[in-house]
Structure 1
Amino acid sequence: MNSHRSPAVARLRRARWLMTALVTAITATAVLVLGFVAAQVDSRGRADDVDRRVDYVSNGLARAVMLTEDYVLDLSSVTEDALLNGAESVVIMTRRPGEAWKQSHTHLRSYMPADDELAALASRVEAENDLYASYVGGGVDVNGRPVRVSATAVHWDGTDLALVMIAGASPTPYSDAHRVLVWQLAIGGTVLVLLATAAAYLLSGRSLREALRLLDEHEQFLSDAAHELRTPLTTLKLLTESRPEPTDVAHTLTEARRLADRMARLVTGLLARARAQSGIAEPERTMLRLDQLVEAVAEEAGDARITVSAHPSVVVGDPQLLSLAVRNMLENALTHGAVNRAAPVEVHIAEGRVSIRDHGPGVDPVMSANPFHRGTAGRGGRNGIGLALVAWVAQVHGGNASIEPAVGGGTIATLWLPPADMTAGARV
């Protein structure tokens, strides 16, 4: 039975998409938050780097300014300083009481704010009246570009000369690097989300395949049980409703017991296969005499047509499953050999091989391609659930099963198991 369009499968697939969407949402949220924090930290760090740089330049140059013995400003040491000729723009503002601020020296002047803004900044810093007092802030240069500036005031005792050293730097290179980082975070985050989505989809798909396999096995068990039990249950119902004559009661009870035994064997086999396939239980591994097991099953069948020819044969296997397989083979032979009630069903055991021959009409052409395939229907519309169990039992024991035409008519069904290693020490 194909369950891939059943409501249960539809629910499993919806759960798969829901799981994938949930993983995607969680990953996207985490990436977004981490990306935002990383961008903010980078932006703040780059801005602090610019501010530290301009403050370092303005303070360093301010400490290099000297006065002569006549209290005349000496900028020779400043103009030769590497800080003045670097990438940062510099303006040295000086004034005496009652005079306006004068730009005594400039470097990269176009990258600094307008004159009136520089004068206002110099007055603000100079008014604090602290030696080497600094101010760091932002603004725009004469061309309207953003700039970060640092102003440091210098005071000397014994003179009324005021000096303010102003250094500036454009944050644009840092902003460009920050934008590159943001794009890298966006692209990397998108790739990470896509990879997480693909991984979630694939992993949930693997889980779904396992769930589909279990669901198929579950529905296969229900289908097999319903199909196999339908006929014996119907026959049993007809027997109980037939109101047999007193002389036929014993026969009716015998037939009812036979049907009940058959249903019990079918249920036992189906449950054993289902439990083994789902991993709930493993087949028992016991060293046993295959010839004795087959003789016991043949005697239990209680049919006079069965003849057994046995040679000692030791195998390792599950007695219950092997008994089930032999019963199914005998039942198949008795059913197909029923066209000739006088013909025997011959059982031969030797070297791990059980061969059962009937003298019926031979292998059904419909079933000849794969008679052990579950659901293969032969004569009378019967499907091969019993034979499928035989093939499964052979497979789990490391053997095989076959059905082939017999010389002179009829069929030979064979179950082969690897002979036991008598030195392995398995329990008997």
Structure 2
Amino acid sequence: MGDISVFRILGSGPQAAARQAAALFTLAGALAVLEILNEPGNRHRLLIVAGCDFGTALLGLLVRWRRSSPALLGVLGFAVLGFSTWSFGGVATGTGPFLVLLYAWAALHFPRWILAAYVPPAAASYVTPLVLTHQPPVVVGSAFILMPVALAVAFLIEGHARHLREDRERLERIEQWRAAMIGTLAHDVRAPLTTIQMALEELRDQVPEPSVWMLDSALRQTARMTRLAEDLLDLHRIDSVGHLKLDRQVVAARPLVEEALSYVRSAPVTADVDDDLTIWVDPARFEQIIVNLVGNAVKYGRPPIVVRITEGRLEVRDHGPGIPDALRSSLFSQFAAGGPEGVGLGLWIVRQLAEAHGGRAVAEARSPGVAMVITFATP
């Protein structure tokens, strides 16, 4: 038994193709039933046509289709169209449009050779009932217009669909490479960092007091790099399972900001945070948000740089040239363009961490400069 959910009609692959065909035939059957209201005298014929449509739709839902086998549903569809035209005495009002629709469906899922192979059954389903019902030559000859048009439309759709599939497959390969790179980098970096940290801790106990601050600074940066490697692993897990687990705590905001700013010493940064303010966050990850935003402001903006925290809101403001409106909406995208007007992975990480905290990340224009604003949930 196949997947019989009629609501899952989008996608690609044989089962998606069968579901879409089932949706088309269900629509055709429903229209045949409604037509009874206009033509009650043809009730029995319309019910037979509707039964054929519904039966084909059910076949599409129930069978476990493989590779290009759902193309057989198109052949059945042509047969139903031919029967419908014959049973109504050669009236082909709905045959032409539905034949083109079947071709469009096939073009989304099957290669060109199948579209070409459809020509004989499609032409037969259109012409045969017209001949059997003794339609004039001009009506029969309409097939010489309909079939080339249907085939041309199908070839255009097939070419575009194939191009989109190739692009998607290429993006999937790039994404697999990126995920493997991040996971490998995070794993491979942690081991040497642990060794470096142990060596620095041993040296700290042996150096003269005036040099201790240098080792303390090196230890802080080593700890910072270790947390970044762990964060990369967490972000890798986001891609795999779709969420990031936080260790949220009620912490004092000002000491957290000052600790984060100790990693950024290349420009003056002011912390505008009340001494008694507490926030409910994951300290390590919220610190990473601050460091990334301040680092971005130092690199692309101009001082003064101000970090301001209020209830449920973090703002990092610089007084630089600002960011163009067209670029602000994409700043927090993954792998946004680098350079003087762009950023790389850092702000995408900020956005992921903001969303994990129940908030969002936006860039707001200021005069002068820009403010990176992070909202986060409060207890």
Normalising by the smaller structure, the TM-score range is 0.3 to 0.5
TM-score, normalised to structure 1's length? 0.38
Considering Cα pairs closer than 8 Å and 6+ residues apart, tell me whether 1 or 2 has the greater RCO: 1
TM-score normalised by length of structure 2: 0.42
Q: Which has the larger radius of gyration?
A: 1
**Bigger share in strand:** 1
